[in-house]
Amino acid sequence: MWKEVLDTVLLIRNAKVYSPDFLGVRDVFVAGGKICCIRERIDVEDCLPVEVIDGKGCVLLPGFIDNHVHILGGGGEGGYRTRTPELSLSTMIEAGVTTVVGCIGTDGVTRRMENLVAKAKGLKEEGVSCFIYTGSYDVPVRTLLGDIRTDMLMIEEVIGVGEIAVADHRSSLPTLEELSRILSDARVGGMLSGKAGIVNVHLGDGAQMLDLLEEIKEKTPLPTYHFVPTHMNRNPELFERGIDYAKNGGNVDFTTSSFTAFTDLGEIKCSKSLRRMLDAGVPVARMTFSSDGQGSLPVFNSAGEMTGLQVGKMNSLFAEVKDAVMEENIPLETAIRVITSNDADLLKLPQKGRIREGNDADLVLADENSLAIQTVISLGQVMMREGEIVVKGTFE
């Protein structure tokens, strides 16, 4: 036991710590995968074989949480050859992400729940934290064990349902009753298992937008804070609806993976979305960023024909936070919440998203001027040191 603890003893010195609240220049002591002590000065080198990491000139941030990633890859809308590749450990670590939530998208046939569970367990064995949503775009929801509640209670990694597609020509066009039942099952499953019971909702370009979610709030007793509607920055009309939705207590998630073809069609850059939402009076706690990493990102014309295809990039997650700080003048302690503490609260992961004593030692050291990621620590293990990946995936 003691050997395992001593093998993961770290002391980070003189870093500017953002918890995400700014704590000042601090030393952070890590042992056994946990944050043990945060002080102005910690001296343990004389009594423990500790690795000291110099944090001078750096900011220390909570490990990033990406709440929407196609860890298996996505089914390409351009045929079999366009099925996108699986997530690799190095891709995740280079992005500073230490906790990921995996999902299945359009293709719930060749990307199945059995594979998703196995991939999540594999990533955990490689040293990071991984959770998943049960289901895919499709309604009725294709679960592993027969229904949503059973998956949530019997599969450790399942914390909700998704991504359920609405307002999209690829969706099953769920009705009010169908989506309400999914929300109810996720909520009760969460209550019984102590999990978040999230329903991750893919929003397309359809005119319906948030209608179903708002109708459920009006016509049922179900609390809609379990909904996480994503791609809210997809177009200006949806974004404006999202402002009112969030000001009325809803959660909104913005997709950081973007390309010229999307912005040409009206997609709003995430850093600008955050600025505009804050200026409109939306509490920062209502917002999250996710990358849609490894997802299939097709471009369709007005006839629904695919005209282009890209792959979601996980490194876009922190890139948009950096732009929020450097281009939109949003304080780092505010901007960093959308990929750390907000996700931890939303996903009901109290050990994640904050630098505080007793929490998992998921940490990112970045240059205080450029915010370039230098060192990444996951569950107390150094995965990237001074910009170099030191722990790679099994087959990398």
pLDDT in tens, the chain (396 residues): 444 545 579 999 999 999 999 999 999 999 999 999 999 998 876 667 889 999 999 999 999 999 999 999 987 888 899 899 999 999 999 999 999 999 999 999 999 999 999 999 999 999 999 999 999 999 999 999 999 999 999 999 999 999 999 999 889 999 999 999 999 999 999 999 999 999 999 999 899 999 999 999 999 999 999 999 999 999 999 999 999 999 999 999 999 997 766 676 789 999 999 999 999 999 999 999 999 999 888 777 777 777 778 889 999 999 999 999 999 999 999 999 999 999 999 999 999 999 999 999 999 999 999 999 999 999 999 999 999 999 999 999
Question: What DSSP state is assigned to residue 328?
Answer: S
Give the closest residue to 242 by CA, choosing from 213, 265, 210.
Answer: 210
Backbone angles phi, psi at 213, to 5 degrees: -65, -40
Residues belonging to the chain: 396
Question: Of residues 292, 323, 343, 362, which has the active-site annotation?
Answer: 292
What is the pTM for the complete model shown?
Answer: 0.95
Task: State the number of CA atoms in the 13 A half-sphere of 185 facing the CB.
Answer: 22
How far is 293 from 101, CA to CA, in rounded Å?
10
Tokens standing for 44? Answer: 């343990």
Contact call for residues 288 and 324 (beta carbons, < 8 A): no
Tokens standing for 60? Answer: 């220390």
Give the closest residue to 35 by CA, choosing from 384, 379, 385.
Answer: 379
How far is 180 from 119, CA to CA, in rounded Å?
29
pLDDT at residue 305, as a whole number? 76
Tokens standing for 177? Answer: 């009753």
How far is 77 from 307, CA to CA, in rounded Å?
10
β-sheet bridge partners, residue 37: 29
pLDDT at residue 260, as a whole number? 65
Contact call for residues 392 and 90 (beta carbons, < 8 A): yes
Give the closest residue to 104 by CA, choosing from 84, 122, 88, 124.
Answer: 84
292 included as an active-site residue: yes
Distance of CA 232 to the CA centre of its chain: 15
Contact call for residues 290 and 68 (beta carbons, < 8 A): yes
Contact call for residues 334 and 344 (beta carbons, < 8 A): no
